[in-house]
Structure 1
Amino acid sequence: MTTWNLSNMQRHVLICNGATCMGAGAEDVTQQIRDEIRAHKLDDKIHTSRTRCNGRCKDKCVVIDYPKGTWYSVQNEATARAIVHENVFEEQIIYSIEHGERIRGDHRIKGIDKYRNRKGKKSKAVLFVGHGSRLEAGNEEVRKFIDQMRPSIDASVLVETCFLEFASPNIEDGIQSCIELGADEIHVIPIILLHAGHSKLHIPAEIEEAKEQFPDIRFTYGQTIGIHDEIFGILKTRLTEIGFDVDGAHPQTAILLIGRGCSDDAAIQDFYTISNMLYEQLDVMTVEQAFMGVAEPTVEQGIQKCINRGAQKIVMLPYFLFTGILMERMGRMAQRFIEENPTVDISLAQYFGYHPKLQTVLLERLQQAIDGTSTGMQDLENFRKYVEEHGYEHHHH
């Protein structure tokens, strides 16, 4: 093992190589700092070391400069190289030492106190995870829905909301927020219709990473909405809203249930099961299935199948949780189908959405996570086995 001669060392630069910082480019930061040191022949004066997590994940990548005791947040090469010369812009400084006192900029969050009083009052937190939409209206639907749920959740439980992608805060930031608010137990509940890649891989990856960073925090994981009695009440409500009598006979009507689509066979099978169960609860010619992407049949193929079966009326029923780009696209598709098939009555129902009945499902999923009966914990175990066998790289930071 190498033994460094540190007799002339004046500074020690510690570069966080924890999982979150590494995912944000810490390896590049490490090499850029070392390259700048070599270029200016400062190797004997500035020593660098890689560290594990330093509890400032929100400020990734984190670099600490001793003996000054300055903590930096590094997002670009210019900042990395400027650290060597101690001329970093103030906004990239997390902490600095002035007259023996540590100063934190007003724009910086407090961060995780790893040495907080363990005898103090502890809190449980529930972190709801929405998918996230490129349309802010879809993200706002999630936030409003969770706000409506708060009165049904124990007032002592912290309630936070985050998103998989396209919106803030992300899961990493959501977990950090729960811990900063004092939570030592976090129940992560996905607001996802079907159990596929997001709930099997992406969310477990974030939880496992957080467990590594915060070993004193207890995490549980809830299961997806999946197949539940309440979802059929919601689907029937959407049909009723467009004047469809869910208790009447409709021998010439086809319902086309439309999902987002995925490559997970089990999730596709669950979608078909939901479709078949809906058919059993309605008196219609057929309930067909279609997907907006990845899987088949496509929506066009689904419409054509309904027409081929002799349907005089087709109701497009989107199985989506929130508005977004796909719903806008579906609206345009529905108009085109109407124009191309003037002899068939084609209508588009409202998407599944955040119906009040969905609260019942999510509260049940939360209780399962709390009392240890959630299948989500098995998902975490399955994810760990998957990583051991296949490795894993995800992109939902």
Structure 2
Amino acid sequence: MTTWDLQGMQRHLLICNGSTCMEAGAEEVTLAVRDEIAKQQLDAKIHTSRTRCNGRCKDKCVVISYPDATWYNVPDTTIARKIVTEDVPPENVLFTLSPSGLSRNTDSKAIKGISKEKVAKRQRALGENGVKKAVLFVGHGSRLEQGNEEVREFVERSKHLIDPAILVETCFLEFASPNIEDGIELCVEKGAEEIHVIPIILLHAGHSKLHIPAEIEHASEHFPHVTFTYGQTIGIHDEIFEILKARLQEAGLDPAQKHEDTAVLLIARGGSDPAANGDFYKISRLLWEQLDVKWVESAFMGVTTPSVEEGIERCMKLGAKRIVMLPYFLFTGILMERMKKMCVEYQQLNTDVSIELADYFGYHPRLQNVLIERAKQAMSGTSTGMQDLENYRAYAKEHGPAHHHHHH
């Protein structure tokens, strides 16, 4: 490794390269700072170091300058260059540390953050009563607020099945607030020393294999006193077939009766994970085993094939006179609206076949049984989700932290 002669150095810039800052453009900030130093011919006077997370993720990206001990919020490369020339706008100066303590710049947009003192007090207060536990449910999140409200209401309805001494919170992977980071912080603020993260996700793919574990690993760096466990996805479970049959029953297809010319077209969102797509086909096959219909076919709304259109064409080629589109979605949203239009269009184009749309899988009461089971597995240490954390650590070691773009 390089060993620089630091004689003559006048400033040291610490550039946060933690996962949140990296996701927000820390690499570009780092390169801009170093490029500006070279342009200003200050290489012998200003030294830079990449650091891990500095614990101010909401102020991303963060650069700390010494010896003046000033913390900066650096949202772009323009501000990054101004740090070198010491011409930073007041609103981008977060804090200055002096012998008398930390002073916060009143012009900055820095948030207050979590009080370490309050967290420590809560930990001491809980000492006599044992460890405070939290279950943090993670919904996917939807651009349609109605879909996010469905998640919140479902968790609220499920709380009575969990020990009242356990804190229960809800957060989202994307599109909605609070995000996972905020959800974990909320649990910590309320005194949690054990946080069990349970994904409300149907199939085990990129989100559950990489993005949620990345958030847990990131949080464990910030809160070393907190124990994290990770639950498994809904996956293949007996209850999901009962829910799917209930949706077919609501659509007028009696699962107990024989339906000679009927095809059920099970429709997923679609993804690039081969194992998740394989699980979806397995679910289609197991559903067929429990119905007396001639065909249960699989289709996807995007990313992979067969498409919904191809699925409907296949059902018709096989001889189906009635096709029931059965959406395998947890919440309403843009795709559900799109599917309603599809159903109308396909029916208009194929008048000799009955094409109907069943309600989406959704937050059926039976789903509570699955998620409570997943939470209990996580709390008892028997969840396969812990292997996912191990797999993620191996992945991050080889490829670096997984970055997921958060939509708000």
TM-score by length of 2: 0.85
The residue identity in structure 2 corresponding to 1:108 is: I
Mapped contact 1:56–1:111 kept (Cα < 8 A): no
C-alpha displacement of 1:320: 0.7
* Separation in structure 1 between the aligned mates of residue 190 and residue 39 of structure 2, nearest angstrom: 44
* Separation in structure 2 between the aligned mates of residue 360 and residue 285 of structure 1, nearest angstrom: 30
C-alpha displacement of 1:49: 4.0
1:296-350 Cα shifts (integer Å, max 9, x gaps): 3322222122222322221110001112222222112111110111121111011
Sort the Cα spacing of 1:40 and 1:386 in 2 relative to 1 into closer, same or farther, 3 A: closer
After TM superposition, the structure 1 = structure 2 runs for residues 101-180 of structure 1, keeping only pairs within 5 Å, are 102-104=102-104, 108-111=111-114, 113=116, 116=120, 119-121=124-126, 123-180=132-189
Aligned to 2:267: 258
Sort the Cα spacing of 1:166 and 1:347 in 2 relative to 1 into closer, same or farther, 3 A: same
* Separation in structure 2 between the aligned mates of residue 387 and residue 103 of structure 1, nearest angstrom: 36
* Separation in structure 1 between the aligned mates of residue 204 and residue 143 of structure 2, nearest angstrom: 22
1:89-112 Cα shifts (integer Å, max 9, x gaps): 444343356994644458613236
Tell me the SS of whatever aligns to 2:120: coil
C-alpha displacement of 1:57: 1.7
After TM superposition, the structure 1 = structure 2 runs for residues 30-109 of structure 1, keeping only pairs within 5 Å, are 30-36=30-36, 48-84=48-84, 88-96=88-96, 100=100, 102-104=102-104, 108-109=111-112
* Separation in structure 2 between the aligned mates of residue 44 and residue 264 of structure 1, nearest angstrom: 49
Tell me which of 297, 300, 310 is aligned to 2:306.
297
C-alpha displacement of 1:221: 0.9
Mapped contact 1:94–1:108 kept (Cα < 8 A): no
Sort the Cα spacing of 1:263 and 1:13 in 2 relative to 1 into closer, same or farther, 3 A: closer
Tell me which of 343, 347, 357 is aligned to 2:356.
347
Tell me the SS of whatever aligns to 2:342: helix
Tell me which of 313, 328, 332 is aligned to 1:323.
332
* Separation in structure 2 between the aligned mates of residue 45 and residue 181 of structure 1, nearest angstrom: 45
* Separation in structure 1 between the aligned mates of residue 167 and residue 63 of structure 2, nearest angstrom: 31
Note the aligned Cα RMSD (angstroms).
3.0
Q: Does 1:314 align with 2:323?
A: yes
The residue identity in structure 2 corresponding to 1:20 is: T
* Separation in structure 1 between the aligned mates of residue 339 and residue 231 of structure 2, nearest angstrom: 31
Sort the Cα spacing of 1:13 and 1:25 in 2 relative to 1 into closer, same or farther, 3 A: same
The residue identity in structure 2 corresponding to 1:119 is: R
1:56-113 Cα shifts (integer Å, max 9, x gaps): 1222212234455443222122333344465544443433569946444586132363
Sort the Cα spacing of 1:119 and 1:387 in 2 relative to 1 into closer, same or farther, 3 A: same
Could you tell which deviates more after superposition, 141-150 or 219-228? 141-150
TM-score by length of 1: 0.87
Aligned to 2:289: 280
Tell me the SS of whatever aligns to 1:72: strand
* Separation in structure 1 between the aligned mates of residue 323 and residue 50 of structure 2, nearest angstrom: 62
Tell me the SS of whatever aligns to 1:331: helix
1:118-164 Cα shifts (integer Å, max 9, x gaps): 53425322222222223333223222322332333333333333332
Mapped contact 1:63–1:72 kept (Cα < 8 A): yes
Could you tell which deviates more after superposition, 38-47 or 345-354? 38-47
* Separation in structure 1 between the aligned mates of residue 293 and residue 399 of structure 2, nearest angstrom: 46
Tell me the SS of whatever aligns to 1:183: coil
* Separation in structure 1 between the aligned mates of residue 94 and residue 191 of structure 2, nearest angstrom: 21
1:233-262 Cα shifts (integer Å, max 9, x gaps): 221222222233333332222211111222
Could you tell which deviates more after superposition, 174-183 or 110-119? 110-119
Unmatched 5+ stretches in structure 1: none
Tell me which of 214, 225, 231 is aligned to 1:216.
225
* Separation in structure 2 between the aligned mates of residue 365 and residue 54 of structure 1, nearest angstrom: 33
C-alpha displacement of 1:275: 1.8
* Separation in structure 2 between the aligned mates of residue 68 and residue 361 of structure 1, nearest angstrom: 54
* Separation in structure 2 between the aligned mates of residue 243 and residue 266 of structure 1, nearest angstrom: 32
Paired residue total: 395
C-alpha displacement of 1:365: 0.5
C-alpha displacement of 1:44: 6.9
Q: Does 1:245 align with 2:254?
A: yes
Mapped contact 1:202–1:396 kept (Cα < 8 A): no
- Percent identical among aligned pairs is 62
Tell me the SS of whatever aligns to 1:128: strand
Could you tell which deviates more after superposition, 194-203 or 73-82? 73-82
Sort the Cα spacing of 1:196 and 1:312 in 2 relative to 1 into closer, same or farther, 3 A: same
Could you tell which deviates more after superposition, 243-252 or 103-112? 103-112
Sort the Cα spacing of 1:181 and 1:68 in 2 relative to 1 into closer, same or farther, 3 A: farther
Mapped contact 1:262–1:295 kept (Cα < 8 A): yes
Q: Does 1:202 align with 2:202?
A: no
C-alpha displacement of 1:373: 0.6
C-alpha displacement of 1:263: 3.1
Sort the Cα spacing of 1:150 and 1:107 in 2 relative to 1 into closer, same or farther, 3 A: farther
Sort the Cα spacing of 1:137 and 1:39 in 2 relative to 1 into closer, same or farther, 3 A: same
C-alpha displacement of 1:116: 3.4
The residue identity in structure 2 corresponding to 1:19 is: S
* Separation in structure 1 between the aligned mates of residue 186 and residue 26 of structure 2, nearest angstrom: 22
